[in-house]
């Protein structure tokens, strides 16, 4: 599912995000969404979220519905 639409993302979902320091390499980090940080309904680079472990990044893939 598309990580660029805010409506697709909800707290508790398993997602793959790209951390700020990995934007060039595109290395993905898997985690569970704690809260959504982007206010706009969509974002071309992915919605920014905070994971349960405190890491912040942009959603590239939504792994479970």
pLDDT at 9: 96
For residue 54, being part of any structural domain is answered with yes
Task: Give the model confidence (pLDDT) of 14-61 as tens digits.
Answer: 999 999 999 999 999 999 999 999 999 999 999 999 999 999 999 999
| pTM summary value | 0.92
pLDDT at 65: 62
pLDDT at 64: 72
Q: What residues make up the domain containing 31?
A: 6-62
Overall domain count for the chain = 1
Alpha-carbon gap, residue 26 to 21, rounded angstroms: 9
pLDDT at 3: 92
For residue 1, being part of any structural domain is answered with no
Alpha-carbon gap, residue 63 to 12, rounded angstroms: 11
For residue 38, being part of any structural domain is answered with yes
Q: Which CATH number is 32's domain given? A: 2.30.30
């Amino acid at each position: 599912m598309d990580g660029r639409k805010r409506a697709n993302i909800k707290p508790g979902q398993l997602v793959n995000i790209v951390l700020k320091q990995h934007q060039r390499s595109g290395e993905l980090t898997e985690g569970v969404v704690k809260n959504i940080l982007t206010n706009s309904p969509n974002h071309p680079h992915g919605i920014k979220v905070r994971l349960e472990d405190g890491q912040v990044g942009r959603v590239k893939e939504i792994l479970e519905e």
